[in-house]
Amino acid sequence: KQLTSYRAWLQYQPILNQDYISDIKAQFSKISVADENEIISSCITELSVALKEMVGFTPVVDYQHTHKVGLHLTINKALPEEAYQLNESQKVLRLSGGSSRALLYGTFHLLRLIQRQAQLSDLNITEQPKNPVRMINHWDDMDGSVERGYAGRSFFYEDYQFIQDRQRIQDYARLLSSVGINALTINNVNVHQKETELITDTYLKEVSQTSDIFNQYGITMYLSINYAAPIEIGGLNTADPLDEGVKRFWQDTVANVYQAVPRLGGFLVKADSENRPGPFTYGRNHAEGANMLAEAIKPFGGKVIWRCFVYDCKQDWRDRKTDRARAAYDHFMPLDGQFADNVILQIKNGPMDFQVREPVSPLIGGLAKTNQFLEFQIAQEYLGQQRHLVYLIPQWKEVLEFDTYAKGEGTKVKDVVSGEVFNNKVAGIVAVSNVGRDYNWTGHTFAQLNLYGYGRLIWNPDLTAEEIALEWIEQTFGLNKSVVDAIGAMVMPSWQAYENYTSPLGIGWMVNVNHHYGPNIDGYEYMAWGTYHFADRDGLGVDRTIKSGTGYIGQYHEANSKYYEELESCPDELLLFFHHVPYTYQLKSGKTVIQHIYDTHFKGVEQVEAMIKIWNEVSEHIDEQRHHDVKARLEHQLWSAKEWRDIINTYFYRKSGIADQHNRTIY
């Protein structure tokens, strides 16, 4: 029997309420289905397993549609492809969907309602995802490691081979489709030597088998490719996108790939970024680089997803003009309109790199004639690496609600990336995965919530962070009110808490080099990566203003650039991202910068102490394994938060010489 924690939010725990059970029995004992295919059979399997476990019976399935009562699954082509409706009347529960995939989403919706013991009579629900593409990127390497992985090794590969036991992949596909994910990549964007061969006969058979598993759950698989593949596996001496031999290499390679994996979605490319090869080597721009691949893959309906994480990672820290935050916009904005229609630019949510607080990338809302995906990171690389409890949905909601002013007031990020504002052919959201081989998938059990919430949020960005958390808590831990309230109270302030005890006011970084865990204020200060805080005895922050700084602020539409440029309007939480100010500068909160630093750092630690107290109070209602594991992580988090607090406070006390108004201990 599977461990409770392995099941994540698909617990299917036995329901004890007898009245509820008899209702469900009446409604589900017979299921009739109009169509038969692999996705519909996933629906039936899921319903059968879930009902057996939750209410103790196996439904009778009728493919002829003769049952007069029970659950009816039908495809209704009048509905949008991924939309579904759930209706109940006169003892018939109807689930209709625009496609089999929509039926699968509706099936999981029903099971979610049953797990939460919701009433199904008079049900009348219509659902349609906001974002057409809802994707996960894995940073798994074929040696079995996961770049920025905090939940154990890869469950796709070990020792440069695909793992033969595919059960785990299938369970993963179930988890993903249960929250509406419809696309994923299975290998790291940093494509090393062996992974370059994923598009060759060496691995294509297994690539295809893996794709088949995901397809059963309505998920389209993509591969990350190496831009220098023509050299590394094609025997050519160039990867120049305008070279005829290179074009031929890609056409032949793509034809071979699609013969083996006809339903492959396409390729994801990290080019000219952090030492990866790309078109710059040949004096070509990124539109030339991407369009060549797009042309090769187009006959097969494939797409090329091209990352915008392009910046100079070998900059001289003495050079005060170069600003990494500017890089993506500077590289890609001039190319707006030049990309083929099956190319999608993938843009990280902020201009730097998944920090606890960043402004929204100005490319989003900047690009008006290019397909784009927004990229989030579910893996908590800079947010406590799944050892700290940090609920990410509140952060992502701020990004999605941000007004870009691209078409005047009210042009929110959520409407740009969904493709609605600019009428894009392809649009959606992508995130870096946080799962691995750990028994509970995500290292920290609470990190499951970020995966769950990611899927739910990008399906419907108008869900609140509270609603999403509540759904996950009830499915994962059951309906006991004290447990539900306790966990809600732990997760809701957790992003704020993390921000409080780590780097202040939007400045970011201050982490240890390479592994990025734990405080190291000057860790990156004299390095080549372009991530500086410029603290001296008088103040800190990066001047990114138009008038005296790097000019980054000028990349936003006017309403936003004015807002950030002026100290009077620039919001406190991003102050040091945009401005260099003295420690004595007074924030809108009324505090000075230095006092804010002290206060938030003491507070952040207290917030973690409060989480621990809450968790201890509900121990008797939670299975021992999950309780014990979370508790151990919370205790580590407290230790780490204190380390952050004391190092940050001490550093700025020593730099500024200004004492804490409340005389608390600073070293």
- Can you give the binding site for ligand GCW, defined by CB under 6 A? 139, 147-148, 189-190, 270, 274, 309, 353-354, 381
**Cβ of 247: how many Cβ atoms within 10 Å?**
17
Q: Is 386 exposed, middle or buried (0-12, 13-18, 19+ CB in 10 A)?
A: buried
Spell out where 90-169 has E strands. 92-97, 124-127, 133-137, 157-158, 161-162
Task: Give the integer Cα–Cα distance in Å for 428 and 585.
Answer: 40
**Cβ of 38: how many Cβ atoms within 10 Å?**
12
**Is 398 a residue of the active site?**
no
**Tokens in use for 452?**
């769950």
Please, where are the H alpha helices in 352-464? 393-401, 413-417, 447-459
List C-alpha distances in Å: 15 to 57, 116, 161, 605. Answer: 12, 9, 41, 39
CB of 270 to ligand GCW, least distance (A): 5
List C-alpha distances in Å: 14 to 54, 115, 207, 327, 432. Answer: 4, 9, 37, 53, 33
Nearer to ligand GCW among residue 4 and residue 531 (C-beta): 531
CB of 309 to ligand GCW, least distance (A): 5
Spell out where 39-195 has E strands. 60-62, 70-75, 84-89, 92-97, 124-127, 133-137, 157-158, 161-162, 183-185
Task: Give the integer Cα–Cα distance in Å for 593 and 583.
Answer: 5
CB of 353 to ligand GCW, least distance (A): 5
**Is 466 a residue of the active site?**
no
CA proximity to 43, closest of 23, 72, 67: 72
Nearer to ligand GCW among residue 381 and residue 403 (C-beta): 381
* 84-89 vs 92-97, strand pairing mode: antiparallel
Q: Is 603 exposed, middle or buried (0-12, 13-18, 19+ CB in 10 A)?
A: middle
- From the list 36, 38, 252, 274, the catalytic residue is 274
CB of 443 to ligand GCW, least distance (A): 17
CB of 310 to ligand GCW, least distance (A): 10
The position carrying tokens 């309230």 is 485
Pair 6, 439: CB distance under 8 Å: yes
Name residues whose C-beta falls within 8 Å of residue 568's C-beta, 6 or more positions apart in sequence.
none
Task: Give the integer Cα–Cα distance in Å for 576 and 563.
Answer: 14
Pair 352, 358: CB distance under 8 Å: yes
- From the list 46, 82, 272, 381, the catalytic residue is 381
CB of 305 to ligand GCW, least distance (A): 13
Edge-to-edge strand order for the sheet containing 124-127?
60-62, 30-33, 70-75, 92-97, 84-89, 124-127
CA proximity to 226, closest of 142, 113, 158, 329: 142
Pair 151, 435: CB distance under 8 Å: yes
**Cβ of 134: how many Cβ atoms within 10 Å?**
26
CB of 225 to ligand GCW, least distance (A): 14
Nearer to ligand GCW among residue 270 and residue 298 (C-beta): 270
Q: Which residue's C-beta sits nearest to ligand GCW?
A: 353
Pair 651, 643: CB distance under 8 Å: no
CB of 173 to ligand GCW, least distance (A): 23
Nearer to ligand GCW among residue 12 and residue 373 (C-beta): 373
CB of 432 to ligand GCW, least distance (A): 7
Task: Give the integer Cα–Cα distance in Å for 529 and 523.
Answer: 11
Residue type for position 345 = L
- From the list 82, 195, 353, 375, the catalytic residue is 353
Nearer to ligand GCW among residue 139 and residue 156 (C-beta): 139
**Is 88 a residue of the active site?**
no
CA proximity to 339, closest of 402, 418, 413, 422: 422
Task: Give the integer Cα–Cα distance in Å for 457 and 467.
Answer: 10
**Cβ of 331: how many Cβ atoms within 10 Å?**
19
Show which residues are catalytic: 274, 353, 381
